[in-house]
Structure formats: C-alpha cells, structure tokens
Structure 1
Amino acid sequence: MFKVRLNTALNPFCLLLFFSALSPFRSEAQSVVIPIETQNNALVFQADANKDLLTIYFGKKLANNSEYLHVPAIYKQTSDYSGILNSAYAPSGSKNLAEPAITVTHADGNNSLDLKYVSHALKQIDNNVSLLSIVLKDPVYDFSVTLFYKTYFKEDVVEQWSSIQHREKGNVTLHKYASANLYLKSSGYWLNQFYGDWAKEMQPEESKLTRGIKTLDSKLGTRANLFQPPVFMVSLGKPATEDEGTVLFGSLEWSGNFRTDLEVDYQENLRIVSGINNYASTYTLKSNETFVTPVFLHTLSTDGKGVASRNLQRWARNYKLLDGKGQRLTLLNNWEATYFDFNESKLAGLLKDTKKLGVDLFLLDDGWFANKYPRNGDVAGLGDWQENKEKLPNGISSLVKEAQNNQVKFGIWIEPEMVNPKSELYEKHPDWVVKQPKRDEHYFRNQLVLDLTNPNVQDFVYNVVDGLFTKNPELAYIKWDCNSIIYNAHSATIKNQNHFYIEYVKGLYKVLERIRAKYPTVPMMLCSGGGGRVDYAALQYFTEFWPSDNTDPLERIFMQWEYSYFYPAIATANHVTDWGKQPIKFRTDVAMMGKLGFDIVVSHLNANDLKYCQDAIKNYNSLKEIIWQGNQYRLSNPKESNVAAMLYLDENKSSGVIFNYLVNYRYGANSSLPIRLKGLDPAKKYKIREINLYPGTESSIKGETTFSGDFLMKIGFNPDVNSSRTSVILKIEALN
C-alpha cells in the first residue's frame, strides 16, 4: 500500500507520470499499462494477463495516454510465436526466440529464465527528474530483475539500467546482463555508427539495417573506444537530417568493454540490446548479491538530429558532466614545444610565454618524472612518479611558484594506470601488472596496464594524484592519460578471472570517486590517446575530454562536428598546434569551437601572429559562455558543402557566434550560396559583424545592415568564405 503526499510544485508531467506509475490504468484483460512520458516522447509498457512486461509503444507521445492501449492492434504483422518478442527485458531459455537481454544458469544448472511483472514504483526526484522502477521475477526460481528508468522531462532524455539479484541456494551464472532492451517499429532503420583509430576518431558511417543482428562492441579493456565508440544513432523510416526525421541517439555509460546488438527481427521490428560486453566476462552472482548494470542513455527526436543533440548537450551540462555549468581554463601545453626535452630553465621561459599569450594556465606534459629510468622517451619510467632530479632539481613546487610569479596557474600530465616494464615500479611489483603468468608480455606503446582490480593498485593510483596535491596545493589542473589497451587479461589478485574486465572498470571508478571526494573542483582532462575513453560515466569525474591527438584543424572540423552530436562544447578540449598547413588564424578559430587551448612555441610566432592570438583569446573570453552554454546549430555540413558553418546561440536568442570555414580548396570553391541560420527569433532584428580579424586586414562584411530573424532563417547570410578568407567568425546580436 503506497502512502502518497502530493507536491503541488510538481509540473503537470510529473503529476501525470506520478499517477500513471502508482495507479496504472488497466485494459479489459486486466493488464497494467505503464507510460513513461517526457516533454515530447513516450515509452509505454504493458504487463499483460500473463504478467509479461511488453513494450507497446515508443515514439512521440499522445495527447491522451489512455490511447496507448490501441497501438498494438493497429499493426497487422506476422505472428509473434513467442508472445514476448517485444519484451521490455527479454530472458533466454524459455519462450524468447530473439537476442536476449539476459541469460543465466541457475544454481541447479537450469538455463531457463522467465521474468514476470510484480510491481512498479516511482520516486520523484525534482520537478524535472523522476525514477521509475519495475520489478520482474521468475515464477519458479527466486530470481528477480529490477528495471530502472530515470527520465529528464524537459530534455527528453532517459537513462535506464537493470539490477539483478537472487536468493537461490548456490551461485547463479550470468552469461549476459544488458542494461537496456529497446523495441521500435518502423518501415525501415538506418544506423549511423562511428569508427576510427588513433588520429582518425569519430568517422561516421551510415547504413540500412537489414534482418539479422548488427553488433557494435569493444573488447580492448581500457581505452575501449579506440576503434569504435559506444555512441550511435538510429533513424526511423528514412535517414534523418539535421532538421527532419525521427532519430534515436544511444550510448552506454561505461568506460570498458561494451556491446550493442541491433536486431531487425522476423516482424521487421528493431530490438536494441545494450550493455557491458559479456566477452570473457561470465559473472558469478552469489545468493543475496546484487549486480547493477551500467546506465544506457537515449534520447528520441522527431525533428531531426539537431534537436536530439541539443537535448543531449543540455542534459549533459545540467546533470552529468562534472561542473557542466562552471568555468574552464584556457591553457598553454609544452608537449609540441619540447616533447621530452626540457629543463627548469626552458619551462620558466614557457611560463613567461603563458602570461604573454594571455591564457590562464601552463600545462606540463609527459617527461617530468622518474630517476633510475628517466622518462626521456616513452620506453621507460612510466610508473615512477618522482620528479626527475636532472630536469627538475627543485621539483614541481618551484614551477608552481614560478607560475604564480607570472600570474598564471600550473597543471600537470599523468598516466597513472600504466607502467613501463623498464621502471622501478615494475621491478618492485610485477604482480601489480595485468599479464598472463605463462605467456610472453605484449606491449602497447611500450606499456603494460596496472591491475586496478587490486586494492593496493587502487591506493597507488590514488596516491599519485593525492601526492601531487599534497606537495603542491596550488596545482590547478590534471591531464589524465591512458594510452594502453589490455593484452593477456589476467589478475594476480582476483580469483574469478571472468570478472576481470568488469572489476577493472569498477576499480577505476573507485579511484576517481576518492579523488573527487577530496578534490571536487580541480579541472581534469580525460585523455586517452585521443578520444579513446570518452563516455558519460567517465565524464562524471572529468571536466573535459581530448577528442583526438590529430589536431590538424581541417581534420578537427570534421571530428568536432561528429563529437558535437553527443557532447557539449564545454567538454571538448581543442588545442591550437602546428599540425596542418593552415595559418594561425584558421587553427585558432577552429579550436575556439570548444574549450580553447594552445600547444605551440609562442616565441616562434611573428608579431602579427602573436597579436592575433592575444586578441582572439580576448574575443574568446567574451564569447565562451555562449559557446559553452548556448544552443548549437549546425548550419552547413562539411561533408556536403565547400563550407562548414556552426552557430552557437544564447537562450534568449539575442546573441550568438557563427564559425565558418572553407573545407574544399579546389577550383575556386567558396560560399557561393547564403547559409541559412537557425534558432533565431523571427521577429527580432539582428546585426552581424566579423570578429577575430587578422592584424592588418579588413572585413568584407560591413556589419551595418540589419536583418530580421525571419530573413536570416529563410534566406540566410553569406560569410564570404573563399581562398583568401578561409576562416570567418561572425558575431550576431539582436537589437533592443
């Protein structure tokens, strides 16, 4: 019996979902209907007369939620021989004929599972967020699964996961244990997935899903996104465009091996089953133990990819990304200026350059540590986190003080999960390393991975960070790298090696939780040889991520475009480097589309280049709130046009910035056609002027004409991009 106290501050949706969850309506056959509604969408379950929990609708929500009951009868498809093809969480071994969400072996050796609806309940977290739980139980075995659905009403975002438990007399083996099991109906399905490698991250590839199963997965252990990230899109009916079509964005919030199965079944419906990759990860669940899967995230848009991405970005800033509504530091990194070859004197000069450039922080990258095996290259020293006495005789503290003397902050690079075999750490603790005891070691970038399933290793990694802050309380930034994948997966500590891949990630999270408990606000970059580990579980602990080691600005336009569908600009670390052949203006303008940084030799800049960078940083500081917190609109796709164009617009639709770049240099390519803007107030009047001009140049855009928002969205504006104006940044402001 539920005791209910109503909160009159709840919005209408919350009251609707509250009553729907606690007092579900029933069909004539006495089935229970559970609608999960956000601002625009609905995911609706029905527990039928047999108590099977089935998905009867997923799409744009109806005005009258009692009409969801009519949906199944509208479809005239072939027979569902099992009766549970649309199961909300399909078990295996009983009636299910499709890819299961869960597969188990019971304590008595039986492989069958049947999950029946028992109950559901709702917790109202605030006037925008609610948490629905649905309990399912096997009628024969004391085995249950609780499904959780956390909804973000305004953002149209749903997080879902499962909790698995039992009270059998003995252990139960979990062979598969998905986080989500979605079920969609349409005339066709188009998958937009992403692939890549080092320096080639986030390459999109769209294809029509045909009958059978398409699997997106990783088995790398760490740096799991090296070849394929967990994010994907599925368009329904036809490929979605930026502003048209129905599209689902999905991703698993997990920093290890993932697996997403997309199955077009014999009724031509789509089942999406996603969770931890069960590869080499059969899990032994003890009686009364609970196994909680990671979160699967999804958002649905019936108005194209742009709406879905803005919903996801807003959700990330408000709820998931660490300090998503806060500030960020612009920085100068020494890596491309010095690589491993530096000393105190050289770094002191770079610290002066940091102040001269006008950024907030100097970041000391790889190579500052190890003595017995000095870190003068990537072949030695990793794991020995003592300052190198030859390079830094006065330690990190002297550099922190020198930074303070130059009125800038100081940050440092670490890679605490990895170790070089040529290191004191490896010599002292060979049992701390992930490796098979009877096989040859196999290295990735001359490294092995430390065993984070081991509590002693967890303490060690935590102490790497804590020790730096204890000695240097003014330390202001951490760049956390992770460059190795796991070969020869084996732990010297845990007894059940099938648990290794899961326990490694849990160990990583334990360390990060300890770090954030003591240092909750210190900015940290998630770097993993580029975008090798970015996901929303990791981004709860990091303020930003490194999309790619490829900083060629032309390549970055394409990469940043794809990343922007899933991650907000404030989380995307973009650095100006010497990669590519473009001038400093082009390189800087591209980097300004996220969290700006520099990795250049400031002393090598000529006077005009330096002046341009200094002025660009000032412009960036005046615009960064719009870039970080504004709504992002993709205006001209670089894959389809000579020009890439991106707009960031504040919530009031009164101020924005438009980035425009030439991406095709052949045959006099230019912005021959006007580019239509989006998101403006059609009734407002706007002025557009060019900013970030290179010293000594004048804009061809005079900025004196006013345009209505209606004109700019229907006709557009031409940024006049051409071979002599390859990068054009425009400031748009409404007139009061």
Structure 2
Amino acid sequence: MIRTFLFSQFLLLLSLSTVLSAPAPPDDTHIVIETRQTALVIRVNKDKDPVIVHLGTKLSHPEEYARISSNGKRGEDYTAIYNSAYTPAGGRNLLEPAIQVTHADGNPSLDLRYVRHESKPAGDGATLTTIYLKDPQYAFEVALHYKTYPDEDVIEQWSTIKHTEKKAVTLHKYASANLYIPADTYYLTHFHGDWAREMNPREEALTEGVKVLDTKLGTRADLFQPPSFLLALDKPAQENEGDVLAGTLAWSGNYQIAFEVDPLHNLRFMAGINPYASAYSLAPGKEFTTPAFLFTYSTTGKGGASRSLHRWARKHRIPQGDGNRLTLLNNWEATYFDFNEEKITALFKDGKKLGVDLFLLDDGWFGNKYPRNNDHTSLGDWQENKTKLPHGLGYLVSEAEKTGIKFGIWLEPEMVSPKSELYEKHPDWVLKLPNREEYYFRNQLVLDLSNPKVQDFVFGVVDNVMTKNPSLAYIKWDCNAVIYNAFSATNPNPSHLYVDYVHGLYKVMERVHTKYPKLPLMLCSGGGGRVDYGSLRYFTEFWPSDNTDGLERIFIQWNYSYFFPAIATCNHITDWGKQPIKFRTDVAMMGKMGYDIVVSKLDEKELQFSQEALKTYDRLKPVIWQGDQYRLASPYEGDVASLMYVNGSKDKAVWFSYLVSNRYNAGSKGNIRLAGLDPAKTYSVQELNVYPGTKSSINNATTTYSGNYLMTVGFNPNVDARRASVVLEVTEAN
C-alpha cells in the first residue's frame, strides 16, 4: 500500500516536472512589452488568465519567449495565478491582491480574464500597450497600460477601472502595478527619515511574507518614507553590476508598495494608492485611473538604473528638463520674518554682487488683519502686508530688474492658518473633523482641495500674483502640513478624501502649468516631503531637505540621485553646518545650485571664491545637468564620497570628491577609478574651485591620461582634512 502510494507520488512529481519544463502550448498568446534592454512578457493561457512569465533582459529572438516553461515558478501553484499580471481578490487567489472590489449586488469576488490587447505609438518614441481584462460574470473591466520608453529603458505602468453594473461598485484596493520576479534571493533598498534627515537607506533581504512600504500622511506623503526603492536580485545591490529594478510611484498622496515572497519563493509586487481609509465608490460608466508606477530594470547595477531614470525624467517628465535653470539668492536666513522694503531691496544688490540670476522673497510678505510676522498666522491671506511692503510686490519686481536680477516669491497656497481671514470666512473649506478639537501641524491646517471652489481659490492665489506681476520669474511652492482631522465638509464620500485631494491638487497644478508653461517652479514641502514624479510633471525642480549642512547634504543628495536627475535637485549654500564655504559650495554644485546666505557677512576671500565659483558653475552646468552620473566611491563605505558627470560626447566630465570622515589621517589613500569616459580618448585633469590664496596639488597642464587609464588605474583626487572637497574637470585633450 505504502509502495503504491509512493510510486503514485513519484509519477505525479514526474508529470509535474514535465509540465514545469515544457514550453507553452502553441495556442497561448504572448504579449511582449520591450525597451532597448528589458522585456516584460505576459502570457495568456487557454483559460484566458494573463500571467507574467518573464521580466528581465530581453531576448534577441522574440519568438523564443514562447519557449519559456509554462510555469517557471519552481513548484506547484494550486491557483495558477501566483504570477498574475493583475491579481484579483475574493476568488481562488489567497495571496496579496492588486485589486479588491465589492460588486453592486454585494459579491466580494473578482475574476479578470483576457479580452484583447493593442499596441500603438505614444509620441516621443514611446509605445503604449494596453491589455483589456473583464470579469466573465459581471460588467466589470480593467485595462492594464504599459508605456515603454525604449531609448531610456523605462516602463510606465498604470490601470484604468470601469463598469456598467446597475449601481456603484466599491473599490477597496486598486493597484497601479503588479509584477512577478523569480530569483534565489531578493534585497530591497528602501529609504526612510523625517524632517531634516530625509532619504536614509536601508537594505534588507526579503523573506517569506509581505514587506509593506506606505504612508498615511495625506500631503507631505514622502516625509517618513518616499515611494521609491531599489530591488536587487540574487545578491545585495551593487553600483556597477548585478540585476537591479529601480521603481517609483508617481503619486503625491498616500501610497502602498507591497513585496510578497510567495510559498514558492518567488517575488510578487504591488504598488499604488494606499487603500487605507480610501474605499472608492465607482459609479456606473465612470472610469477610475490609477497613478503611474515607473520602473527600469538594469543588469549593470544601481548606476545603470539611475542613469536610465535620469535620462527619462529630463526628456519625458520634468518641465524644461533639457533647458536652463536660475541660480538664486533667498532672503530667509538673512531676515526670517523681520524685513521691509528697504531691507529687501538692499539684498538685491547683494545678489547682483554675488552673481546670481534671481532673488527669492521667502515667507512673511503677506497678511494685514493678521500680519505674517511668525508661522502662527496669515496663511490664506495672500495680500501684501502694507507695513512691510507699502508699494506691493510690483515695486520689488521692478527694483530687482533695475538692479539686474529677476524676482521670485514664496507661496504655500494649499494651507490655512486658524488665525486668518480666510479661515474666518470659509471654515467649510478646511479639512477638519466635526465635534473634535482641531489638531495642528506646524500651526496650520490643510485646505480641502477635493472641493472645486477651493481648487479655484488656490489657482487664483498663483494666478493673481502672476497677473499683477507678469515678469515674476520664479515661485517656490511650499507644503508644510500633513492631513490631521481628515474630513471634508463638502465631499459626499468621506472615504474619497485622500484620493480626491491629490486629484484636486493636480488639477490646480495643471491649470498653473498650462497658463504659465515656462514659469520655473520649485516643489518644496518642508524639505523632501513631496518628491515624486506625479508632482514633478509640473515643477522644474524640488527641494530635497531643509537640512543644508554640507556634510549631511552629501548623503541626502547621494540617495536622491538614484531616482532624480541633478537638474531637478536644488542644493543651496547656507550657514548650516561648520564646513568652510568652499566645501558647502562644492557640495551644492553637484545639482541645481543656489544661496541662502548673508552676502554682506562674507569676507573678501569668501566673496571672491563665491563669485568665481558661480562663473565656473555657469560654464559647467550643462555637463552636470545633462550628463550621465557615475557614483565612484560611496560615503557609506569609506572616508571619501566621489561621483562624476560625463556629457554625451564623452569629451568633458566634472568630478566631485568629498571627505566624509573626521578620523585621523582620513582621506583618499589611493586612486579612484573613473567611469563613463571613452577609453580611446586622451584627457587632461584640472582642479576647479581653488580657494583664493591656495594652490592645487593636482593641476599640471602638460600631463594627460587615456580614458582607459583613468577607468582602469584611476586617479587620486588627494582628498584629506586640508582638501576636504575637490572638484576636477576632465577634458578631452587636443
């Protein structure tokens, strides 16, 4: 009896092994979604189940995707949909779902079967592939969209959901993406922090179960944890080698990203809007569109992944991503709330003397009944304070232009102070709970952008400033509060609030961008509280952190650089930290540089250095902003952080190195290997930003090196306690 049972089990395993290794049946459909290097392959089997059979390097011969075994999941999957392209809940699936609904008749199950698919050009070299799915028993449909950017090697994925049932259907979960990746081990790098300590990395091996990254902050959603990650397969993430998927969700509100190692030790992945307190009632005939999830798959480590995202962002997402940016001087650290016209116009001359393009007037310029002399009042009352600015913003714009620089302004239009005229006139415009004590974040509340009237008001704040001052050259858009008291007095569906708020925000941003398409806009949120590619569709740049200490910023900027290009990353020289101005300038130069300093307090050499650095930066910024970035030495692994930018023709590079350790005798002990150069070209290496009164230990105009030498043997930038920051220009020799 036992022998018979064992023999039958052997035959079952043999049969299963044959099935697992067998190619797909000839009647299966293969939907191949490809970029220059990557392929995502979805197979539709005889039961019309869409399942993912490949995500990784694309094959040279597309017909061979059909040879991938019919079940490459390394074991028996009783449901046959562990690797579903969009996993429904309530039926035979008992793992983490991508979508969960309750139908109009109360049925909590969903079954999604393939109907058809199509691919078509989507402009700028992109291709859009759409897969249409439907529940066989209900008039409920989902379309999966995959937009590929072949040259940039990026895939943008989202879903649309609709139905024609008799009554509303409740969406409990509605992911943007559902991916499936088999590997032996999985290493997730995610990022965490708080105000002034953003983007701290944490790498961990994923084990069986579900790892969730999420936020419930409403606004400033990235404050504790951004919706961006690196996923390395089979070994921890390396800079220049290994398979790495870099992903980020283009959404400015609550999100959830779940990584599930299934019972067969394969990785299932879902990303989208956080279902927390967000059940969405979808009326018949209406369509719900999820935000986009963006990812790139690299076989050359973290570096290859980030360069792909940078190229994509500059070309396809960030406004004027291949254009210019303005260097600015901000008054905040010079005056805080204590200023008047005389003080501000005097600072214009400081900006002109320094050599910046623009002066930015920060917080404190508005409010009359409740003057904005501290952060407890006035948000919402966007009229010039008559005591501080008796001649209005127009006078400042004109005076700045007479001085020879442009003028910009700070706004925080989404927020309201309880002590404000706006709050007194429109308490129903404010997100707050009835019959509860108000609870404030930074002495303010959030306006209800799910309300169209509030959307009109917020747009009007920006539009009025621009209409009255058409030559205004820059807006810093801040957002300092999270959503406490999450209730809308006007939204008929309370559980729609978190979603509708972001949609309302995007409507306002879209209106501003449409009317003022060339207006430079900084996305600020008390630092990096809202840095995502949903908002960056409308903003030219973002503020990574209020922490501008030069040493701290090396780490913060390093980690943002995995996902966002230098041209969008605002790095300002301020009085935070104890480093000399050369160090702070060299750190700020590896992005979009600006100043928050009191120019009049600079000594003669500091001013001379800063003026020359700005001229150097103006010459080099095309390489820094448009070049490919290579991280050469990690600040987490040694005494020195080092990275470089190389332009497209590989005839010029800018190389930054910084001392990040104060240990005895710390520094660059040997050569650092460069990257991205042409091995056949010959280069000179010259030091920049040499402080007045000092000499470089490197500059020698007669010495040249082959690209092969610099990338194989390397070069020592001679970083130590006396040379804590070194900037080198690598130029093709004539």
TM-score, with structure 2 as normaliser: 0.96
CA deviations over 1:645-692 (Å, ceiling 9, x no partner): 110110011001101111111111111111100011111110001011
Paired position in structure 1 for 2:77: 80
Paired position in structure 1 for 2:417: 420
Tell me whether 1:92 sits opposite 2:92 in the alignment: no
Tell me whether 1:249 sits opposite 2:246 in the alignment: yes
Paired position in structure 1 for 2:168: 171
Q: Name the CA distance, whole Å, in 2 between partners of 1:76 and 1:670.
A: 48
Paired position in structure 2 for 1:557: 554
Tell me whether 1:515 sits opposite 2:512 in the alignment: yes
Check whether the contact 1:160–1:296 (CA below 8 A) recurs between aligned residues: yes
Q: Name the CA distance, whole Å, in 2 between partners of 1:76 and 1:726.
A: 51
Paired position in structure 1 for 2:487: 490
Paired position in structure 1 for 2:715: 717
Deviates more, 1:184-193 or 1:465-474: 465-474
Letter in 1 for 2:31: I
Paired position in structure 1 for 2:432: 435
CA deviations over 1:473-510 (Å, ceiling 9, x no partner): 11000000000000110111110101000000010011
Check whether the contact 1:29–1:49 (CA below 8 A) recurs between aligned residues: no
CA displacement at 1:302 relative to structure 2: 0.9
Tell me whether 1:685 sits opposite 2:658 in the alignment: no
CA displacement at 1:63 relative to structure 2: 1.4
Q: How does 1:529-608 map to 2 (within 5 A)?
A: 529-608=526-605
Tell me the SS of whatever aligns to 2:86: coil
Letter in 1 for 2:713: I
CA displacement at 1:183 relative to structure 2: 0.3
Tell me whether 1:290 sits opposite 2:276 in the alignment: no
CA deviations over 1:125-182 (Å, ceiling 9, x no partner): 3473100000000111111100000000011100000010111111111110000000
Q: Name the CA distance, whole Å, in 1 between partners of 2:237 and 2:58.
A: 19
CA deviations over 1:622-645 (Å, ceiling 9, x no partner): 000000000100011111111111
Check whether the contact 1:92–1:102 (CA below 8 A) recurs between aligned residues: yes
CA displacement at 1:78 relative to structure 2: 2.1
CA displacement at 1:229 relative to structure 2: 0.2
Paired position in structure 2 for 1:21: none
Tell me whether 1:279 sits opposite 2:259 in the alignment: no
Tell me whether 1:311 sits opposite 2:315 in the alignment: no
CA displacement at 1:28 relative to structure 2: 3.5
Q: Name the CA distance, whole Å, in 2 between partners of 1:73 and 1:412.
A: 59
| Aligned with residue 500 of structure 2, among 494, 500, 503 | 503
Paired position in structure 1 for 2:659: 662
| Aligned with residue 150 of structure 1, among 130, 147, 152 | 147
Paired position in structure 2 for 1:8: none
Check whether the contact 2:53–2:72 (CA below 8 A) recurs between aligned residues: no
| Aligned with residue 204 of structure 2, among 207, 211, 215 | 207
| Aligned with residue 374 of structure 1, among 371, 374, 386 | 371
Letter in 1 for 2:243: T
Tell me the SS of whatever aligns to 2:637: coil
Paired position in structure 2 for 1:731: 729
Q: How does 1:310-349 map to 2 (within 5 A)?
A: 310-349=307-346
CA deviations over 1:251-310 (Å, ceiling 9, x no partner): 110000000010000010001101000100000011111111010111000111101000
Tell me the SS of whatever aligns to 1:525: strand
Q: How does 1:224-235 map to 2 (within 5 A)?
A: 224-235=221-232
| Aligned with residue 351 of structure 2, among 351, 354, 357 | 354
Paired position in structure 2 for 1:14: none
Tell me whether 1:222 sits opposite 2:219 in the alignment: yes
Aligned residues: 711
Tell me the SS of whatever aligns to 2:212: strand
Q: Name the CA distance, whole Å, in 2 between partners of 1:612 and 1:97.
A: 64
Q: Name the CA distance, whole Å, in 2 between partners of 1:108 and 1:380.
A: 50
Tell me whether 1:138 sits opposite 2:135 in the alignment: yes
Q: Name the CA distance, whole Å, in 2 between partners of 1:146 and 1:75.
A: 25
Letter in 2 for 1:458: Q
CA displacement at 1:31 relative to structure 2: 1.2
CA deviations over 1:497-534 (Å, ceiling 9, x no partner): 01000000010011111111111111000000101001
CA displacement at 1:72 relative to structure 2: 2.6
Deviates more, 1:127-136 or 1:408-417: 127-136
Paired position in structure 2 for 1:11: none
Check whether the contact 1:85–1:97 (CA below 8 A) recurs between aligned residues: no
Q: Name the CA distance, whole Å, in 2 between partners of 1:167 and 1:203.
A: 46
CA displacement at 1:735 relative to structure 2: 1.6
| Gapped regions of structure 2 (runs ≥ 5) | 1-22
Q: Name the CA distance, whole Å, in 1 between partners of 2:408 and 2:551.
A: 28
Q: Name the CA distance, whole Å, in 2 between partners of 1:622 and 1:48.
A: 57
Check whether the contact 1:362–1:408 (CA below 8 A) recurs between aligned residues: yes
Paired position in structure 1 for 2:704: 706
TM-score, with structure 1 as normaliser: 0.96
Percent identity, aligned pairs only, is: 61
Q: Name the CA distance, whole Å, in 1 between partners of 2:411 and 2:123.
A: 38
Q: Name the CA distance, whole Å, in 2 between partners of 1:561 and 1:337.
A: 28
Letter in 1 for 2:443: N
CA displacement at 1:459 relative to structure 2: 0.9
Tell me the SS of whatever aligns to 1:178: strand
| Aligned with residue 631 of structure 2, among 634, 649, 670 | 634
Check whether the contact 1:340–1:366 (CA below 8 A) recurs between aligned residues: yes
Paired position in structure 2 for 1:23: none
Check whether the contact 2:24–2:70 (CA below 8 A) recurs between aligned residues: no
Tell me the SS of whatever aligns to 1:347: helix
Tell me whether 1:238 sits opposite 2:225 in the alignment: no
CA displacement at 1:74 relative to structure 2: 7.9
Paired position in structure 2 for 1:192: 189
Give the root-mean-square deviation of aligned CA atoms.
Answer: 1.0
Letter in 2 for 1:730: L
| Gapped regions of structure 1 (runs ≥ 5) | 1-25
Check whether the contact 1:322–1:543 (CA below 8 A) recurs between aligned residues: yes
Letter in 1 for 2:201: P
Deviates more, 1:286-295 or 1:66-75: 66-75
Q: Name the CA distance, whole Å, in 2 between partners of 1:169 and 1:647.
A: 59
Paired position in structure 2 for 1:44: 41
Q: Name the CA distance, whole Å, in 2 between partners of 1:221 and 1:561.
A: 26
Deviates more, 1:369-378 or 1:117-126: 117-126
Tell me the SS of whatever aligns to 2:316: helix
Paired position in structure 2 for 1:264: 261
CA displacement at 1:438 relative to structure 2: 1.2
Letter in 2 for 1:78: G
Q: Name the CA distance, whole Å, in 1 between partners of 2:67 and 2:208.
A: 27
Q: Name the CA distance, whole Å, in 2 between partners of 1:470 and 1:390.
A: 23
Q: How does 1:2-21 map to 2 (within 5 A)?
A: none
Q: How does 1:608-647 map to 2 (within 5 A)?
A: 608-647=605-644
CA displacement at 1:29 relative to structure 2: 4.5
Tell me the SS of whatever aligns to 2:69: helix
CA displacement at 1:64 relative to structure 2: 1.5
CA displacement at 1:455 relative to structure 2: 1.1
CA deviations over 1:59-94 (Å, ceiling 9, x no partner): 111112222222235847221010111100000111
Tell me the SS of whatever aligns to 2:256: strand
Letter in 2 for 1:198: W
Check whether the contact 2:185–2:234 (CA below 8 A) recurs between aligned residues: yes
Paired position in structure 1 for 2:449: 452
Q: Name the CA distance, whole Å, in 1 between partners of 2:667 and 2:300.
A: 30
CA displacement at 1:702 relative to structure 2: 2.4
| Aligned with residue 473 of structure 1, among 446, 467, 470 | 470
Check whether the contact 1:29–1:48 (CA below 8 A) recurs between aligned residues: no
Letter in 1 for 2:333: E
